[in-house]
């Protein structure tokens, strides 16, 4: 069905009215245009400004306007829904008139889009500084084409600009805001550039290293044991793994008296951050320290004889543990 301004629809089990419909055309940053340039200027999507009147049972709701951009979520009112709507119009005339007369706040019509532009490694911070300056030179309302024209003063390739906040390993990112009323003939005119940021792969890698402490190292050992015991029949390693998991709680909560293994590890490992290579060496040392008590001869032999496999599995464990702690 074609949905027009003023239509009544069923949305999220509520009887709602379409306040307005806004049409947006494809722009240069859209992936569909990058794949096929003939899509430029064609209809991309519709934004619907919608306001709920009541539930399907007839209970009135707040009626605050909001934006919907997925047309397929709308449903046609059935006969029973139409009866509910007419009943409200007749029996609750004052409340319906109040609902109908409410003005739509301009803020309600504001939309945010997130963008990324690829830059060369180690240049993100400097380019972003200059990009901020040129954004201040933009008029109060500007199109994406005008932004590209301003950005051409810088050494950045705006053809890599995509509406995705994290598209590249090395990038600058920003947010563009616009009001639905500032769409003219399918072209969006923005009124604000904000939330500037940059991403540099090398900087991020160094930063993540700082997250890999003695706690991350301990988790990486447990992860390695999980993988090892899933591929090898080794009851002694299974026992060691079970004790390591118990020790994890004691170590993380700093209750070392609850686990001899946790205390042994805490006393052994330096309290610093570790590279992947340092972590692998400490991992082997700690396994060797427990070799006799847990009869870990098979595990130690596997680590030595299947060195490439051990390094690969440990590296995966290291990366996963690092990611876990970077999100804490």
Query: In a structure prediction context, what are the per-residue pLDDT tens digits for the chain, which is 328 residues long?
Result: 789 999 999 999 999 999 999 999 999 888 898 889 999 999 999 999 999 999 999 999 988 999 998 888 999 999 999 999 999 999 999 999 999 988 888 889 999 999 999 999 999 999 999 999 999 999 999 999 999 999 988 878 888 998 887 789 899 999 999 999 999 999 999 999 999 999 888 877 665 555 568 888 899 999 999 999 988 889 999 999 999 999 998 888 888 888 999 999 999 988 777 888 888 999 999 999 999 999 999 999 999 999 898 889 888 888 877 666 554 4
Phi then psi dihedrals of residue 43, to 5 deg: -60, 125
- For residues 186 and 43, the answer to whether their CB atoms sit within 8 Å is yes
pTM above 0.75, yes or no: no
| Residue-level pLDDT at 254 | 84
d(CA 255, CA 263): 9
Is residue 71 packed enough to be buried (19+ CB in 10 Å), middle (13-18) or exposed (0-12)?
A: middle
| Residue-level pLDDT at 41 | 92
Q: How far apart are the first and last CA of the chain?
A: 47
């Amino acid at each position: 069905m074609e949905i027009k301004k003023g239509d009544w629809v069923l949305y999220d089990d509520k009887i709602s009215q379409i306040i307005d419909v806004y049409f947006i055309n494809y722009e240069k940053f859209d992936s569909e245009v990058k794949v096929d340039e003939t899509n430029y200027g064609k209809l991309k999507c519709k934004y619907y400004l919608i306001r709920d009147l009541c539930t399907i049972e007839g209970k009135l709701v707040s009626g605050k306007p909001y934006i919907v951009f997925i047309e397929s979520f709308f449903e046609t009112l059935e006969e029973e829904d139409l009866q509910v709507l007419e009943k409200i119009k007749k029996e609750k005339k004052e409340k319906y008139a109040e609902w109908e007369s409410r003005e739509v706040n301009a803020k309600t019509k504001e939309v945010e889009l997130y963008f990324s532009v690829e830059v060369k490694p180690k240049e993100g911070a400097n380019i972003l500084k200059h990009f901020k300056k040129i954004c201040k030179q933009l008029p109060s309302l500007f199109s994406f084409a005008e932004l590209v024209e301003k950005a051409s003063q810088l050494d950045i390739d705006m053809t890599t600009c995509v509406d995705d906040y994290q598209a590249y390993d090395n990038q600058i990112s920003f947010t563009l805001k616009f009001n639905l009323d500032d769409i003219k003939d399918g072209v969006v005119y923005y009124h604000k550039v904000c939330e500037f940021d940059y991403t540099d792969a090398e900087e991020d890698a160094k930063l993540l290293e700082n997250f890999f402490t003695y706690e991350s190292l301990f988790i990486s050992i447990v992860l390695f044991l999980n993988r090892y015991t899933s591929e090898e029949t080794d009851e002694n390693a299974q026992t060691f793994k079970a004790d390591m998991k118990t020790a994890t709680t004691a170590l993380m909560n700093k209750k070392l008296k609850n686990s001899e293994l946790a205390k042994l590890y805490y006393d052994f490992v330096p309290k610093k951050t570790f590279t992947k290579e340092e972590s692998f060496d400490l991992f082997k040392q700690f396994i060797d320290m427990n070799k006799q008590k847990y009869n870990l001869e098979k595990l130690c032999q596997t680590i030595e004889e299947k060195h490439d496999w051990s390094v690969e599995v440990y590296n995966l464990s290291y990366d996963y543990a690092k990611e876990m702690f970077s999100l804490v």
